Amino acid sequence: MRIGDLMATSGVKFGTSGARGRVEDMSDLVCYAYARGFLRYLLEGGTLAAGAEVGLAGDYRASTPRILGACAKAVTDSGCRPRHLGHIPTPALTAHGIAHGWPTLMVTGSHIPDDRNGIKFNLPSGEILKEDEAGIRAQSIALPDRLFDADGGFIDPRHGALPPPEPSALDAYVARYLEFFPHDWLAGQRIGLYEHSSVAREALFRVLSGLGAEVERLGFSASFLPVDTEAIRPEDVALARDWAATGGFDALVSTDGDGDRPLIADEHGTWLRGDLAGVLCAQALGAAGVVTPISSNTVVERCGWFAQVMRTRIGSPYVIAGMQALQARGLAPVVGYEANGGFLTASDIERQGRRLPALPTRDAVIVAVTLIGSARASQRPLSALAESLPARFTESDRLKDFPSELSGERLAAFQTGDADADRAALAAVFAAECGPVSALDRTDGLRMTLANGDILHLRPSGNAPELRVYSEADSRARARALNQRCLAILERWRDGSE
């Protein structure tokens, strides 16, 4: 069985750093095959040796234990030893793998609904990059006889059994922050921890309270909630406002499902945009070089805080490649962040004799701890940090149930290769409601700079049937209005009324 063929036929495709699909398509056979293909790629390349250890962890989705079991069986059948590290954040698993020289597999669908899931693959050095994805696609594996039934499930349920979970990775992840930041970094701060179904809720509680904060746990959910840090749900906006009004908090903290994207609200219960939080975190950590995708707010260039800023396509593999390029130019420290708030460090961060080892994968805890502590150190509320940035506001949302094929067809009409014709076609669709287009950027999706300096960016999701819309303007109201006008146009596209 060739992995590339399975990707084309199973409905489980590669997105950022791994495979994602509907749970009903992620059979034991499909998950086993993908894990075997990943491990075969490492074994053939000499990155993994027979008998070596492979770390496994997952989020709180209902389907995660079954998929973990299929991955564990694949590890064993590859001649390696699975180490089950439990329900922990993705960055905790990745950091543990880097520290021990293990490849790791994280079973998570991040922020997407519970009827979908995924497997993130990490090298011993961190996330797979696009060239690794190509290498995995090229692998062919032989499935053992009498292992799966006609529906792709294990014939014997014992094949999907997991070894007992180990606490070592979570403990090391918590220690990473307790050992870097001063013990009283958050002393006197009252923080509301929005737990929902985030796999980072225990780590966050231990880190925040361990650094001196008074932490109140809020909003626990036993069932999975698809909290998206880029397209925040209206109910989460309302919850934050209510908690801030009644709880007397200095900040509210949460993450997405697998704990690699932060969600931070100020003392008023206003959630900070992830790309603004990324700029503030990079500045507080003393970054010289910053890498961020094309969708992030242009305030990173306007603030003038960094020696060099590099823009990339959307997705952590592209950010990681960009960070490596800046390091090769001699810049240090180098960090990266995404519009969803996930923060990456390519360099060790040093402060007052303490060292925070590089973690070149999205992380949420570093952002929350850095920003709240920085606000405390400056004797200002968290809202004042965001207000110190140049006035530039971003709004993002998504149109669900927007087939990828339709997105591609619609956007292709504006990518003919004739710049004047493309601008004219865009003007015919968007100018009346959004304004005339002065420049186009096709780094990832279609990013339009309007004549008044506003920005409108359309991009199909890489892991769900959604079309995302990013808007940017000099006022929050204008950015929001631009986003809503664009969504109305896209709804007509989806519904076939335009």
Residues involved in catalysis: 110
Do 457 and 450 contact (CB within 8 A), yes or no? no
Closest CA relative to residue 372, chosen from 253, 279, 258, 271: 253
The C-alpha atoms of residue 234 and residue 223 are separated, in whole angstroms, by 19
CA gap 10, 28 in Å, rounded: 12
Strand boundaries in 59-115, DSSP class E: 81-87, 104-107
Enumerate long-range contacts of 145-151, CB under 8 Å, 24 or more apart: 147/32, 148/27, 148/28, 148/29, 148/32, 151/27
> Which amino acid belongs to residue 474?
D
> What number of residues does the chain have?
498
How far apart, in Å, are the Cα atoms of 342 and each of 135, 315, 452? 26, 10, 30
Runs of H (alpha helix) within 248-294: 274-284
The Cα–Cα gap between 435 and 471 comes to: 13
Identify the CA nearest to 211 among candidates 382, 377, 384, 93.
Answer: 377
- How many contiguous H segments (helices) and E segments (strands) does the chain have? 17, 23
- How do 116-123 and 190-196 pair as beta strands? unpaired
b (16+ CB within 10 A) / e for 325-345 = bbbeeebebbbbbbbbbbbbb
> Do residues 119 and 33 make contact, with C-beta atoms less than 8 angstroms apart?
no
* 493 dihedral zone (left: phi>0; alpha: psi -120 to 50; beta): alpha
Ordered alpha helix ranges (H), 148-233: 168-178, 201-210
Other CB atoms within a 10 A radius of the CB of residue 472 amount to: 27
Residue 225 main-chain phi, psi, to 5 deg:
-120, 130
Q: Three-state SS for 391? A: coil
Q: Are strands 359-363 and 393-399 parallel, antiparallel or unpaired?
A: unpaired
Residues whose CB is less than 8 angstroms from the CB of residue 175 and which lie 6 or more positions away in sequence, other chains included: none
Q: In terms of C-beta density within 10 A (0-12 exposed, 13-18 middle, 19 or more buried), how is residue 65 classed? A: middle
Q: Bridge partners of 55?
A: 83, 104
Give the three-state DSSP class for 459: strand
